[in-house]
Amino acid sequence: MKLLTRDRYRFPLAAILLVVVALVAAGCAGSSPEDGGGEEGGGELTWAIGGAEAAPGGVHQEVAKMWSEENPDTPIRIETLPDDAGEQRQQQSLELNAQGSGFDVLGMDVIWTGEYAVNGWLESLEDVRAEIEEVTIPGAFESAAWEDELWAAPYNSNAGFLYYRTDLVDEAPTTWDEAVQVGLEVGKQEGISPFVGQGAEYEGMVVNFLEYYWGAGGEIFNEDATEVLWDEEIALEAVEFMRDSVENGFYGSGFNTFLEEESRNEFQSGKAVFMRNWPYVYGLASVKKESDIAGKFDIAPLPTFTGEGTISALGGFNNAVSAFSDNKEAAKEFVVWASTNEEVQTLLGESSLPPTMASVYESLQDDPVMKLLGEVLPDAKPRPPAPEWNDISVTIQQEIFPAYNGEKDPQEAVEAVGAFLEESIQE
C-alpha cells in the first residue's frame, strides 16, 4: 500500500497509531481497579441502587456521603442503576449470577427478597434482626424477610398517592367514578389530560392494575402463598375500568407509554388534572424553578371503587449484603446503620421518601407527605414476595397490557393470569 511507504504519510500515521494505543490502554487500565468492591477488605464499598434519588443530587447520594464521612476507612460509593425496577434487577442479577464481588450492598426492590434469597445471593441478617425489628414499621419489615428469616435491612418504603390540582379541583375524589367524572369535565375545560399514571408494559403497570384490583376487593394468594385467591370477576372489573378509561379519554393520550418519570413530567408541566404516583414527586414538584405547578397541587389517598377506605401498593427498597462481597462486615454495618439511624431516616422523610423507621413518622408529623403516609401505609398491600413474582409480574404485563389497550379479550387475559398463578403455586 502506497500509504505505508510514502515518507510524507509516515509521521501522521505513527502519531494516529500512538493516540489509538494510548486510548485503548487508558480504557483497559481504567476499568480494572473498579472491579471488586474492596481490594484488601478495608476498602471502598459499592452500593448498587437505582431510581431518581440515586443520581447525583439525590438523597441516596447524601446518605452515602454521610456514611463515608463517618467511616473514612470504609467509604461507600453508589453504582447508579437504571430508573426502571425491572432493569435494576437485570443488572444486579447479572453480577450476582456470575458470583461477582462488584456489588457489596444491593438496593433491592421489596418484591425481590424471595427470589434473591432462594438463589443464594444474600447474606442472612438474622444476627441483627432484633436491632432492626424494633424500630421498623411492620409492612416494611415483612417485605425484607423470606420464610421467616431476615435477608435485608428495610431502607425506604413507598405507597401510591393521588396527586390533584388544587387550582382546578376543590376536593380530592374518593371513588374512581367521581375521579373520572371530575377529571373529564375539568380536563375538557382546560384542554389537559384528566389522569396520568404508569401504563407502559412494565412492573409499574402491574402496580397500577393491582391498586384497582385490590381496591375492588381482590386478592392474589392467601397468607402463606399456598392457595390462589385470584377472582376473575373482580379482575375483569378492573381491566374493564382501565379499558373504558382509555376509550373515554380519562387516561390521557400516551398513558400506555408512561413510566414514573413520564407521568411526573406531564403532571409537573401542568398537563394533567390527576396523577397516580409515588411520594417522591411531592418534593420535586414543589420546587418553583422546575415545576409549573408548585403550590398548586396536593396529595390524597387513592380512590377505590366503593368509596370506602383506601388501598395502595406497598413499594420501597431494602438494602441487602451480597453473598459474594469482599467486605461483608462493613457492608452489614452500613445496611443496619441506614435502617436504624434516626438522622438518615429523617433525611429520607424530608425528601419525600417514606422512611421505614417508625419514630420518624411521629417527629415529621407536620410534613404533608409524612402525614398522608401515616394514613395510607397501614393499608398498603405488598405484592407477594415469592421468588416467582417476576414471572407472575411478566405474565400480568403480557396479558393485562394488551387487554386494556383493546388488543386482547379481557376475559381471556384474566383467565390466563389465573391459570399461570395456579401453575406457579404447584411448583
Partner 1 sequence: MSATTVAGRTPAVRRRSGFSDSALARIFLSPSVLVMALVAAFPIIYAVILSLYLYQGRLREGFGGLENYAEALTEPRFWDAVQATMIFTVTSVAAEFAIGLGFALIMRQTFKGRGVTRAAILVPWVIPTVIAAQLWYFMFSVTPGFVNDVLGLERFNWLGQPGWAMFSIVFADVWKTAPFVALLLLAGLQTIPDEMYESARVDGASMWQRFWYITMPLLKPAILVALLFRTVDALRMFDLAQVMTGGSFKTEPLSMLVQRFVVETPNPGLGSTFSTLTFILVLAIGVLFVRALGRDFVLSTGGE
CB of 257 to partner 1, least distance (A): 4
Total residues contacting partner 1 by CB under 8 A comes to: 29
Q: How far apart are CA 163 and CA 159, in angstroms?
A: 13
Contacts of 402 (CB under 8 A, 6+ apart): 408, 413
Grid cell 397501614 in the structure block, residue:
378
Give bridge partners of residue 380 from the DSSP assignment: 312
Grid cell 376487593 in the structure block, residue:
217
In the range 351-410, which residues lie near partner 1 by CB under 8 A? 387, 390-391, 394, 398, 401, 407
Among 101, 256, 341, 363, binds partner 1 (CB under 8 A): 256
- The answer to whether 226 and 425 are in contact (CB under 8 A) is yes
Stretch that binds partner 1, among 4-12, 86-94, 220-228, 321-329 (CB under 8 A): 86-94
Q: How far apart are CA 49 and CA 83, in angstroms?
A: 9
Q: Nearer to partner 1 by C-beta: 170 or 407?
A: 407
Q: Residue 321's closest CA among 39, 34, 45?
A: 45
CB of 407 to partner 1, least distance (A): 7
Q: Residue 138's closest CA among 377, 386, 352, 383?
A: 377
Stretch that binds partner 1, among 72-80, 90-98, 99-107, 308-316 (CB under 8 A): 90-98
Q: Nearer to partner 1 by C-beta: 231 or 266?
A: 266
Q: Nearer to partner 1 by C-beta: 86 or 418?
A: 86
Q: Nearer to partner 1 by C-beta: 90 or 189?
A: 90
DSSP-based three-state secondary structure for 55: coil
Stretch that binds partner 1, among 7-15, 93-101, 181-189, 300-308 (CB under 8 A): 93-101
Contacts of 69 (CB under 8 A, 6+ apart): none
Among 58, 197, 204, 252, binds partner 1 (CB under 8 A): 252
Contact between 262 and partner 1 per CB under 8 A: yes
Length of the chain: 427
Contact between 266 and partner 1 per CB under 8 A: yes
Residue 307's alpha-carbon distances to 147, 216, 235, 274, in angstroms, are 35, 10, 18, 17
Contact between 201 and partner 1 per CB under 8 A: yes
Q: Residue 51's closest CA among 77, 76, 90, 84?
A: 84
In the range 232-251, which residues lie near partner 1 by CB under 8 A? none
CB of 406 to partner 1, least distance (A): 10
CB of 165 to partner 1, least distance (A): 16
Contact between 94 and partner 1 per CB under 8 A: yes
Q: Residue 276's closest CA among 168, 359, 176, 156?
A: 176
Q: How far apart are CA 140 and CA 138, in angstroms?
A: 5
Among 161, 176, 212, 258, binds partner 1 (CB under 8 A): 258
189 grid coordinates? 375545560
Amino acid at 260: E
Among 71, 101, 175, 269, binds partner 1 (CB under 8 A): 269
E strands, 82-172, where?
Answer: 105-109, 145-146, 149-150, 153-158, 161-165
Among 75, 82, 100, 254, binds partner 1 (CB under 8 A): 254
The continuous run of DSSP H or E covering 416 comes out as: helix 410-426
In the range 278-337, which residues lie near partner 1 by CB under 8 A? none
Give bridge partners of residue 277 from the DSSP assignment: 161
Q: Nearer to partner 1 by C-beta: 50 or 301?
A: 50
221 grid coordinates? 394468594
Contact between 271 and partner 1 per CB under 8 A: yes
In the range 95-124, which residues lie near partner 1 by CB under 8 A? 97, 119
Q: Residue 214's closest CA among 315, 88, 112, 311?
A: 311
Stretch that binds partner 1, among 24-32, 71-79, 169-177, 253-261 (CB under 8 A): 253-261
CB of 39 to partner 1, least distance (A): 29
Q: Residue 281's closest CA among 393, 186, 385, 372?
A: 372
CB of 178 to partner 1, least distance (A): 24
Residues engaged in binding partner 1 (CB under 8 A): 86, 90, 93-94, 97, 119, 193, 200-202, 252-258, 262, 265-266, 269, 271, 387, 390-391, 394, 398, 401, 407
